[in-house]
Structure 1
Amino acid sequence: MEKKYSIVIHPSQAVIDLIKEMKEFLALKVGWFNSKNSVAHITICEFKIEESQIDKFKQKIIKICDTFTPFPVHLDHYDSYDNGAFFISPNEDSKMNLKPIMKKTQDALQLPNLIKSNDPHISIGRKLTPESLKIASHMFTTIDMDFLCDNIVLREFDPIKKQFFVIDTFPFGSNPQPELVQGSLF
């Protein structure tokens, strides 16, 4: 049976708890919204595969995570997209560290139907109306949070609850592989 999966970075539990409170506070002002009940995360990718294939993909994730080294992520501002997403964004140094993790993980999976994220962020709300976006941007103006990025998380989609749930966590191994450099014979 085909199932939907996502690979994400979870911030620390303290950051997850704080963002959950922010979502609850926003819901009091604007009502229910997309991603209200979603656990705080930075999306790397989503994909659909046959359930029988998941162990093969777990092995690919283990292998790539072994090459990653933990690093701090600093969340320092809010932003939004034209599609109604309101989110917390990492600073530029953190983005520069997150983007290669995201890209290498996506590339390691070698899936043609991969839905990729290339702009690291933590959503507060998605598909907000322009009015709700304005309310959110007035409610949340400053942020200063940090967490250690030291693993990635594999989640499976529950079609009944319409939420992803964690099925595995892959720690970073701090064993960087040498980059292959194409040399010249002459």
Structure 2
Amino acid sequence: MEKTYSIVFYSKELVEPVKKLKDFLRSKIKWYHSCNSEAHITICEFTIDESQLSSIKQKVSKISDTFTPFQVSLNHFSSFPNSGAFFIGVTEDSEKNLVPIMKKIHETLKFLKLKKSENPHMSIARQLSPEHLKTASELLTTVNFDFLCSQIVLREFDPIIKQFFVIDTFQFGSNPEPEFVQGSLF
């Protein structure tokens, strides 16, 4: 059976503070897309037959072992007006650490039809009307979160409750890939 999965950066410590921001916005503009989604930074999303999942997990586990933990700072609100997305943005330094990992995951899973995220951000709301986007930017003006990024998680989409839930965690192992050294026969 086909299921939808996503791979994300995830921090348990940020779930509650981000939920408070989302709940505050919801109290002003009512229900909106992503209002019930737990805090995360999306790397990619894909749909596969669940029989392929074990193989995907092996690949993600192997690549995660090569990553080294680092601090991520989120320090501003911004939006993608065309899609009505309102989000918390990462600092430049955090982006420099997140993007190479995102690209490495994309490359590792290139045989799948990926819905890729290229721009690391933590969504607060999606598909807002221009009026609600304006309201969000007036209500939520300052933010300063940080977390130790030491893992990525695999989430599965539940079509009944229409939310993703964590099904596996892949810790960063700080084990760089061995360099291939060309040997000599003579």
Normalising by structure 2, we get a TM-score of 0.94
Give the C-alpha shift of residue 109 in structure 1.
Answer: 1.5
The answer to whether the 8 A contact 2:46-2:112 is kept is no
The alignment yields a C-alpha RMSD, in angstroms, of: 1.4
Paired amino acid for 2:163:
Q
Alignment of 1:85-164 (within 5 A): 85-164=85-164
Matched, 1:52 2:46: no
Unaligned runs of 5+ in 1: none
SS in structure 2 opposite 1:55? helix
Paired amino acid for 2:43:
I
Structure 1 runs, 4 residues or longer, greater than 4 Å off: 178-182
Distance 2:118 2:36 in 1: 23
Matched, 1:26 2:9: no
The answer to whether the 8 A contact 2:61-2:170 is kept is yes
What's the % identity of the aligned pairs?
Answer: 59
Question: Which residue does the alignment assign to 1:4?
Answer: 4
Q: Quickly say closer, same or farther: Cα 1:54–1:112, change in 2 above 3 A.
A: closer
Give the C-alpha shift of residue 111 in structure 1.
Answer: 2.5
Distance 1:110 1:181 in 2: 25
SS in structure 1 opposite 2:36? coil
Q: Which moved more, 1:153-162 or 1:172-181?
A: 172-181
Normalising by structure 1, we get a TM-score of 0.94
Q: Quickly say closer, same or farther: Cα 1:110–1:143, change in 2 above 3 A.
A: same
Question: Which residue does the alignment assign to 2:67?
Answer: 68
The answer to whether the 8 A contact 2:73-2:90 is kept is yes
Paired amino acid for 2:167:
I
Give the C-alpha shift of residue 112 in structure 1.
Answer: 3.9
